[in-house]
Amino acid sequence: MTAHKTNRVAVVGGGIIGTMTAWQLASRGLDVTVFEQWNTPNDRGASAGESRIFRTIYKEGPEYVPLLKKSRDKWDELQACQHMDVLDMCGGVTIGPPSEPDVAAVIDCAKAADLDHRVINAKEMAEEYPQFALDEDEVGVYDPGAGIFRPELAVLAARNESIRHGAEYRSYARVLNIRSVASCVMIDTADGPIGFDSVVIATGPWASELSGLDQAMVAAKRLVAMWFPAMNVSLHQPRSMPISIRRNDVGGFSCFPVVDGAGVKILPHHLPWQDLGDVNDLPRFIEPETVRATEQTVQRLMPGLDPTAVRVSTWTEGFTTDGAPVVGPSPLDDRIMLAVGMSGQGFKFSPMIGSIISDFVENGSSRDSLRIMDPDRYIKEPVR
Ligand SMILES: Cc1cc2nc3c(=O)[nH]c(=O)nc-3n(C[C@H](O)[C@H](O)[C@H](O)COP(=O)(O)OP(=O)(O)OC[C@H]3O[C@@H](n4cnc5c(N)ncnc54)[C@H](O)[C@@H]3O)c2cc1C
């Protein structure tokens, strides 16, 4: 990558990736402006919806573990600086038969990265965590380095910390176009063009609009979340119940303890996540068969919940074809940084995505970047 003198940086998108990147850039003394088409935080993108999971034992691969450990440190730093609690380290458990691929991958990762963990059999799980009904052949793999985020508060904390370091936010400022010219990178908004030394694209599910990636590479998908009432609320709060990921023949889901009111949030994984043709047109409607299938799964696997989905909602996220994010300079113009395609993973390691992007902006390289995230697997260099 060519070394450029960078002073002024635009960040397009004020979700968790954009705000964390703004924090990391501004804390290094760069002049940062964040453009957000709505407000920061908002509930239109991927960074909202009451809760998110942090995990250290990573079924996606041990190569992510160093990034997760460093992210954890940055989350702690953010909470201390902002005097806000946004991550509760309540622990986490992956439940299923040991031979199930995701359960096996969690055990393999814990061993490969030498991480604290416990494999708990079905009988012990019933005593320790009666919130979960296990079949005889199932185990729980406990990760003490897991927890639950409050996503809206987390975005707020990152926004406020970036502002404390001098970042400026332009709300309701949609970026219409990004253009490379010799002296700078131009951003077009309804208020006219503005030139920057570098531009970071952190547009989440809108990634295919400005980044040079198309929908075949990074697709906006619809995810659904449902809340089920806990009969004994205190047994289902983070102090008594870890976050969990479930893999069973009847269904798979992420499960989040009660943080607001009386509902345990269930995010089904075993039902297809539909491609959204138009990311601006996220339907609220959820097919009754999707709700019913989730209710049946909850009835069988979560004995402390009433199996009635009392609240349902739809969300969107940008997914790449290989499931890894796209993070680094664009091969088309290395003054343009891509931080998109988080593929359902981005919240937990967002501070390190911001740090990696800041390394690239400042130095042209990053020791923390992962090869699997390179943009050049999707975008090729232009022929000169
Ligand atoms: C339901 C659900 C559950 C998830 N669970 C987890 C989990 O448990 N753990 C985890 O780590 N991750 C999880 N994820 C993934 C994680 O939440 C996302 O990877 C992360 O929030 C993505 O943040 P982002 O900033 O890239 O996107 P967003 O939050 O969508 O932010 C992008 C922003 O860009 C703005 N924007 C777009 N285009 C423009 C434009 N042209 N001009 C100006 N602004 C623009 C949008 O308005 C938006 O605010 C989950 C995702 C979803 C949807």
> How would you write the pLDDT of the chain (384 residues) with one tens digit per residue?
555 567 999 999 999 999 999 999 999 999 999 999 999 999 999 999 999 999 999 999 999 999 999 999 999 999 999 999 999 999 999 999 999 999 999 999 999 999 999 999 999 999 999 999 999 999 999 999 999 999 999 999 999 999 999 999 999 999 999 999 999 999 999 999 999 999 999 999 999 999 999 989 999 999 999 999 999 999 999 999 999 999 999 999 999 999 988 799 999 998 778 899 899 989 888 999 999 999 999 999 999 999 999 999 999 999 999 999 999 999 999 999 999 999 999 999 999 999 999 999 999 999 999 999 999 999 987 765
CA distance 81 to 107: 35
Which contacts (CB < 8 Å, 24+ apart) does range 287-295 have? Answer: 290/224, 291/226, 293/251, 293/268, 294/226, 294/251, 294/253, 294/266, 294/268
How far away, in angstroms, is 231 Cα from ligand 1 center?
32
Output the six-digit token pair for 287: 């097919």
CA distance 175 to 325: 22
Q: Whose CA is nearest to atom 52 of ligand 1?
A: 46
Exposure of 382 in the CB half-sphere (CA atoms within 13 A): 7
CA distance 59 to 101: 9
pTM of the predicted protein model: 0.97
Output the six-digit token pair for 40: 């920061």
Cβ–ligand 1 distance for 325 under 6 Å, the answer no
How far away, in angstroms, is 341 Cα from ligand 1 center?
9
Atom nearest to 317 CA in ligand 1: 53
Domains of the chain: 8-49+151-216+322-377 (3.50.50.60), 89-148+219-320 (3.30.9.10)
CA distance 272 to 97: 22
